Amino acid sequence: MAKVDFTFAGHDLVTDDRLLEPRAWTQKQSAWAADLLSQVPEGPVLELCAGAGHIGLAALRQSERRLVAVDREPVAADTIRANAERLGMASRVEVRCGDLSQVVAPDECFALVIADPPWVPTSGVGRFPEDPRGAIDGGADGLTVARQCVAVIAEHLLPWGAALLQLGTREQVGSLDLPAGLVVVEVREYPRGVLARLVPAGADQVSCAAGSSR
C-alpha cells in the first residue's frame, strides 16, 4: 500500500498502488469530455468507476460544473478527494463510495456521464498480473460492470446530454444491448481501448426530466 505520484493532462496527481495505474491514453477521454461540456445542457457531471478520479477532474478543470465521482473502493474515494484538493476543486467535487445501483438518487440528473468500467473478460485477467484484479475483471464477457454503467446512464442522463464510455474493443460496444432510448453515435478507437459517445435517442424518450438536476 503506497501512494504514487503521477502527471496526467499536465496535472500533478496521486494514486495508490491498490488502484489501476492511470493510462496516459485516457487523457483522450478527458479531452473529449471537456469538449462536450460546451454542447450539453447545464447541470452536473457524473463519473462512474472513477479510480483515482483523474479523468473526470482533468475534464472539468477549466469548468465551473460540479462533479460527482463514484467508485466502489474506499481507497479510490480517498484518492479522488486528495486529487480534488490538489487541484483546488474540492468544493465542487462530491465523492461517493458504493455500488453503482445505490449511489445515485432516483431524481438526480446529469448533463454528462463519464464511465470507465473494467472490461477485461474474467478468462483474460491473468494476462495482466500487474493490475489489481478488481479493477480490470469485467465478468464473463467483460461487460458486467459496463452494463450497470449503461443502466445508470439511461436513468440519469439529461435530455440532450451525453455519456462517454470506455471499453476494450468496438465489438464490446456493439454487444452492450443498450436500453431503449439510448444510442451510440460515435466510437473512437485507440491502441489500448475505445471510447463510445452515447446520447438519448430523443428528449421525449428519457426518464430524466430537464430541470430536476441537483
Which residue has cell 460496444? 173
**Extents of the domains making up the chain:** 25-205
Distance CA(30)–CA(69), nearest Å, equals 14
Cell numbers at 63, concatenated: 469548468
Distance CA(208)–CA(159), nearest Å, equals 7
Closest to 138 measured CA to CA, from 152, 168, 118? 118
pLDDT given at position 213: 45
Closest to 137 measured CA to CA, from 117, 122, 116? 122
The neighbour count for residue 50, using CB atoms within 10 Å, is 29
Cell numbers at 97, concatenated: 463510495
pLDDT given at position 169: 96
Cell numbers at 200, concatenated: 438519448
pLDDT given at position 3: 86
pLDDT given at position 211: 44
CATH class of the domain whose range is 25-205: alpha beta
Residue 192 near residue 206 (C-beta atoms within 8 A): no
Distance CA(45)–CA(60), nearest Å, equals 9
pLDDT given at position 149: 97
Distance CA(50)–CA(57), nearest Å, equals 10
The neighbour count for residue 9, using CB atoms within 10 Å, is 18
Distance (Å) of CA 84 to CA 46, 57, 164: 15, 7, 21
Closest to 167 measured CA to CA, from 193, 149, 197? 193
DSSP tag of 197: E
pLDDT in tens, the chain (214 residues): 678 899 999 999 999 989 999 999 999 999 999 999 999 999 999 999 999 999 999 999 999 999 999 999 999 999 999 999 999 999 999 999 999 989 999 999 999 999 999 999 999 999 999 988 999 999 999 999 999 999 999 999 999 999 999 999 999 999 999 998 899 999 999 999 999 999 998 754 456 765 444 4
pLDDT given at position 203: 52
Residue 19 near residue 75 (C-beta atoms within 8 A): yes
Number of H helices, E strands in the chain: 6, 9
